Amino acid sequence: MDADLDTLATALYVTTDDLLKAHPEQVPWRPAVGIQPRVTDAEIITLAVMQALLSFTSEARFLRYANKHQRQMFPVLPGQSGYNKRLRKLAHTMAWLKIRDPAAADRWTWLIIACHARLCLARTLAGDLRRPRERPAPPGRLTPARARRGFRNIRAKAAQPAGAPKPGKPGPGRPPGSKNGRPAPRHDAGKTTTRELTLKDKRERAGSTASFSVASGHLAGVAG
């Protein structure tokens, strides 16, 4: 039962992860710059499905169960509060993933079969991470459930042609001497006085102000 459930969870995770990467518009918005969550959206959805299959009504109890029995599949598990917040944010995504017609059910059936076949093809890449009660399996003859246990290591080392390469250095930027085609908007600060551009202009203005003050005082004395 555990092996069948683990295989189903792995197939569900692989299928969900591929669908979310193919349709990023169905994933909750997240800023490109900042700390990325350690648990992916596909893992949260897989945990939610496993919680429903195992008939856990309490999220805290299910997370304790997963921490004890499913640690090899989910090395990092969220807390109960974080798990609940992520589920609420993924409500639209999970509604989009629901099977709504027979054609969708047929599509999901073929997708799960394809995921099962992918695990069979990964037998030579996965190590035999067997449990104490299991017998050693010949090389290249691992069951899909055993290949699933090393799936995280396989996924980290395998190439991903669909992922765009990230540059290791910053770009060259705007060529020297070229004009900026998109200048930043400038806003008036609301000042009424202007500042002199040079020190000479400032001294001349200070001298004229002093002369005006002396002349005003002389005129006031004459009038008095």
With a cut of 70, say whether residue 70 has pLDDT above it: yes
Report DSSP state, residue 91: H
> What is the spatial distance between Cα 151 and Cα 200, in angstroms, rounded to a whole number?
75
Q: Which of 83-92, 99-108, 116-125, 194-203 is predicted most confidently?
A: 83-92
- 223 within a domain of the structure (yes/no): no
Assigned domain for 211 exists: no
Cβ-contact 48, 57 below 8 angstroms: no
Establish if 195 belongs to a structural domain: no
- 21 HSE (CA, 13 A, CB side): 13
Mean pLDDT of the chain, nearest integer: 75
Whole-number Å distance between alpha carbons of 81 and 63 = 11
**In the chain, how many domains are there?**
1
**What's the 3-state SS for 7-44?**
HHHHHHHHHHHHHHHHCHHHCCCCCCCCCCCCCCHHHH
Tell me which residue range forms the domain holding 75.
2-157
Whether residue 102 is contained in a domain is answered as yes
Q: Is 206 domain-assigned?
A: no
Mean pLDDT, residues 31-47: 84
pLDDT score of 175 more than 80: no
For the stretch 99-108, contacts whose Cβ atoms lie closer than 8 Å and that sit 24 or more positions apart, written own/partner, are 108/15
Q: Which residues are CB-neighbours of 66 under 8 A, at least 6 positions away?
A: 47, 50, 74, 77
pTM comes to 0.46
Q: Note whether residue 69 is domain-resident.
A: yes
pLDDT band at residue 83 under the 50/70/90 scheme:
very high
Lowest mean pLDDT among 17-31, 45-59, 163-177: 163-177
Residue 176, in any domain of the structure? no
